Amino acid sequence: MRKMIYLALSLALLAGGCVPAMTENTGASSDALHIVASTSIVADVVQQVSGEDAVVDVLIPAGSDPHSYSPTPQDVARIARADVIFLNGLGLEAGLQPVLENARPDAAVVELSQGIDLLQKPESPAREEGEGNPSEGADPHLWSDPNNVRVWVSTIAETLSERDPSHAANYRRRAASYQKVLEDLDAWVREQVAGIPPERRVIVSDHLMWGYFCARYGFRQQGAIIPGYSTLAQPSAQELAALEDAIRQVGVPAIFVGNTVNPSLAERVAADTGVKLVTLYTGSLSDPDGPASTYVDWVRYNVTAIADALR
């Protein structure tokens, strides 16, 4: 694997010299910090803090499932050039682990899960395919609660201030401003949730994605098509049958499925139970011209869709 990584890096550098940033930060100076973020959601939050004082690349492009993403030679080159690498952590980016070994020795690799009160896995997670088990440990879907992202912002600001003291005041100023945006976003979510009858605040999704959202806003995560934290899991026929029984008994109004996963199993369960299927953005932002092109838009789009389906 290591030889393959070195070969990929060499080919990428020979083919392209340097890899262009995936974000539109053209105002940064040539000696600015080079930051790599794992997902489009992480990258957007980092960009809110870094502004024009750093260059931010995103590894996993918009529209891709972070659970199943496989790195490219360009990703190897980006990681090799990075001063700081921000990850969600908790196994979400398991596919990136081999290429993360190619990071420079002096690069800061930061998992944004630090400092967050984590939710632990269910007692009976679904079986995983391949090596390792992405469902092991805590729930990695931290960003479903904006208050967790506020912790991210603090971690990002402190990390960038330590690596680039000359712009520390800028990083902290932007972080404070964005914290207020997220605080207002949390209040907005509560307003939307208030219009949903308490007995209908039930979430069934394609995988166990909404635990932090449910814990924060008074929902019950009734179950999932894939009863685990990773979309790589495979549910058994017995698990699907049990979920369908629970949907009928509880009177679940809708099943929520992410736009980056294969919806076939969810469509089957929805057809069997007569429940409507609602598509949400989950592990990725939309394209820049889409309805969830920033993290704030991501929250607003999903909460609006959830509220409309459950009222």
Give the model confidence (pLDDT) of 216-244 as tens digits. Answer: 999 999 999 999 999 988 899 999 999 99
Higher pLDDT, 260 or 43: 43
Residues 199 and 182 in one domain: no
Residues 58 and 172 in one domain: yes
Residues 6 and 107 in one domain: yes
The residue range of the domain holding 230 is 195-310
Residue 175 lies in a domain: yes
Residues 67 and 149 in one domain: yes
Residue 219 lies in a domain: yes
Residue 131 lies in a domain: no
> Which CATH number fits the domain that encloses residue 246?
3.40.50.1980
Long-range contacts, 179-186 (Cβ 8 Å, 24+) = 179/150, 179/153, 179/154, 181/296, 182/146, 182/147, 182/149, 182/150, 182/153, 182/296, 183/150, 185/146, 185/296, 185/299, 185/300, 186/146, 186/147, 186/216
Residues 174 and 271 in one domain: no
Residues 206 and 174 in one domain: no
Residues 51 and 163 in one domain: yes
Q: Select from 295, 51, 86 the least CA-distant residue to 173.
A: 51
Residues 291 and 150 in one domain: no
Specify the pTM.
0.88
Tell me the Cα Rg of the chain: 20
Question: Identity (one letter) of the amino acid at 108?
Answer: A
DSSP 58-124: ESS-TT--TTT----HHHHHHHHH-SEEEE--TTTTGGGHHHHTTS-TT-EEEETTTTS-PPBPPSS
Domain boundary among 186, 203, 224: 186
Domain boundary among 186, 205, 220: 186
Residues 93 and 60 in one domain: yes
Domain boundary among 186, 203, 222: 186
Number of domains composing the chain: 2
Residue 180 lies in a domain: yes
Mean pLDDT of the region 242-266: 95
Residues 200 and 182 in one domain: no
Residues 295 and 199 in one domain: yes
Give the model confidence (pLDDT) of 128-183 as tens digits. Answer: 443 344 335 899 999 999 999 999 999 999 999 999 999 999 999 999 999 999 99
Q: Of 7-11, 137-141, 208-212, 229-233, which gets the smallest average pLDDT? A: 7-11
